[in-house]
Amino acid sequence: MNHTLFLRRSSLLLVTVVAAFAAQSRAAESSKAPPTTAPAWVDAMRKTHARFTGTHGTFAHFGDSITVSLAFWSGLPYDHKNLGPEGEKAFALVKDYMQSDCWRNWKGPEFGSEGGMQVTWGEQNVDKWLKKLNPEVALIMFGTNDLREGRGVEDYTSRTRAIARKCLDNGTVVILSTIPPRTKKLEESRAYADAVRKLGRELNVPVEDFFQAVISRRPDDWDGSGEAFKGAADSYDVPSLISGDGIHPSVPKKFAGDYSEEALRNHGYNLRTYITLLSYADVIREVLKP
């Protein structure tokens, strides 16, 4: 082979190798996941938060007995084993940012939570709570007692919207929550949950989906009042997510303070605490301390 032909073939081979390497690089780049986009509610909540005039780190919970209970949220700073990496990261963020009084002291009627109450009570009193607390963030979950009274979805939605809008007008970031399923009223609970999801999209606010969190983990046996759990001595200490009364989340002693995947399939209040932790951490990360 003459020298010129050898050089030409060598050059051609080099070009081919370089082209192949470049093609592989482009393919690798294109296979990477696209940049994560912020949730749709982020811009709207940043604008709301820009109007806020109160104390940073204040987190109010407006709701009924499922909210006023000390089984929800209050025990998290003292016992939170098996949170997992995502949960631990969220807990560290919340613990560092939130006012300590909001773990357990912001409970009771003057703070927006009381057993047996319906969405009408929230609508009637939210102005008073906002004036007293002026919270930076408010979690809103009414509806379980409204199901008992047979309140229609449209009326429930309208009153929930009124509560949320008053919070937003105050400069308070809103987190809406769906209610858990209720025994003998599964489809009605589902309709309420659908309404809250739609309202979240309408108002551009985050929604924590307690209903779906329960149903996805225990699709067939979430109801602790069912025949499978009749032998339980304590209606709250059942191995499911809703207690033996068919209304409130369960509180099985075996999983006290436990946030493992197994516990989140059995301890209803821990499950609600966990999804609230993740939701509030998202708000802190995206809105309060972006």
Q: In this structure, are residues 239 and 102 in contact, taking their beta carbons and an 8 Å threshold?
A: no
pLDDT in tens, 242-277: 999 999 999 999 999 999 999 999 999 999 999 999
Distances (CA, A) of 186 to 19, 52, 65, 125, 179: 60, 38, 19, 29, 11
| Residue 186, Cβ density class (10 Å: 0-12 exposed, 13-18 middle, ≥19 buried) | middle
What is the per-residue pLDDT for 231? 73
Domain layout of the chain by residue ranges = 42-210+268-288
Task: Locate 205 and state its tokens.
Answer: 């606010």
What is the per-residue pLDDT for 19? 46
Q: In this structure, are residues 240 and 222 in contact, taking their beta carbons and an 8 Å threshold?
A: yes
d(CA 234, CA 229): 10
Homologous superfamily of 42-210+268-288 in CATH? SGNH hydrolase (3.40.50.1110)
Which residue ranges in the chain fall short of pLDDT 50?
3-8, 10-23, 25-35
Task: Locate 130 and state its tokens.
Answer: 């906002």
Pairing of strands 207-208, 137-141: unpaired
Angle between helix axes 153-169 and 119-133 (nearest 10 degrees) is 10
In 10 A of CB 11, how many CB atoms?
10
What is the per-residue pLDDT for 226? 86
pLDDT in tens, 57-89: 999 999 999 999 999 999 999 999 999 999 999
